[in-house]
Structure formats: C-alpha cells, structure tokens
C-alpha cells in the first residue's frame, strides 16, 4: 500500500496555524530563532495565490468600511461634544 507524502491544502493550513500558535507560546529567544529561520512574507506571491476578491467579499469589505466610517464620525462627534463641555 502506497503512502501519501503530500499534504492536502487543509492539512498545510492546519500545520501553518499550529506553527503560528507555537510562536505565541514561545519564549523571546525561541521566537527570535523561529522568526529568523522563517521565510520573509512575499506579498506578490500572496496576491497571486489569493486572487481577486469575489463580489461577496467586496460587498463585505464595503459594509465593514461603511460601519467603520460611521464609528469614526460618531467618535469625532463625541470628542467634539466633550471639548465643548470642557470650555
């Protein structure tokens, strides 16, 4: 019986996630050793792998940005109100 040597995408992601968790639990010395041995983040490769956003993802991002803008405006209004009360 032949054994499979390649990891599935899900297994690869699980392994990567476990490695990220290990970094959080590591001592500063261990973290330094791990991070210096890890490859640098390749943004261009990530963009190629991720591909373009789907319409659903774009809609979700737009909704998030609208909500964040509303929160920002509310925060500015509250800050302005506090400033006026302090005068």
Closest CA to 67 of 78, 55, 75, 56: 75
CA dist 7 and 5 (Å) reads 7
Question: For the whole model, what pTM was predicted?
Answer: 0.45
Under the banding of pLDDT at 50, 70 and 90, the label for residue 87 is low
Report the pLDDT value the prediction gives residue 5, as an integer from 0 to 100.
60
Yes or no: say if 54 and 61 are a contact pair by the CB < 8 Å rule.
Answer: no
- The 10s digit of each residue's pLDDT in 15-63 is 888 887 776 777 888 878 888 888 888 999 988 999 999 999 999 999 9
Residue spans per domain, the chain: 9-51, 53-87
CA dist 24 and 18 (Å) reads 10
Q: Give the tokens for residue 62.
A: 């737009």
Buried b / exposed e along 31-47 (16+ C-beta atoms within 10 A): eeeeeeeeeeeeeeeee
Under the banding of pLDDT at 50, 70 and 90, the label for residue 74 is very high
């Amino acid at each position: 019986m032949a054994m499979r040597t390649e990891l599935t995408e899900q297994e690869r992601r699980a392994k990567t996630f476990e490695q990220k968790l290990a970094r959080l639990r590591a001592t500063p010395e261990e973290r330094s050793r791990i991070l210096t041995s890890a490859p640098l983040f390749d943004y261009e490769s990530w963009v190629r792998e991720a591909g373009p956003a789907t319409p659903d993802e774009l809609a979700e991002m737009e909704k998030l940005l609208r909500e964040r803008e509303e929160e920002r405006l509310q925060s500015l209004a509250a800050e302005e109100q506090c400033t006026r009360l302090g005068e």
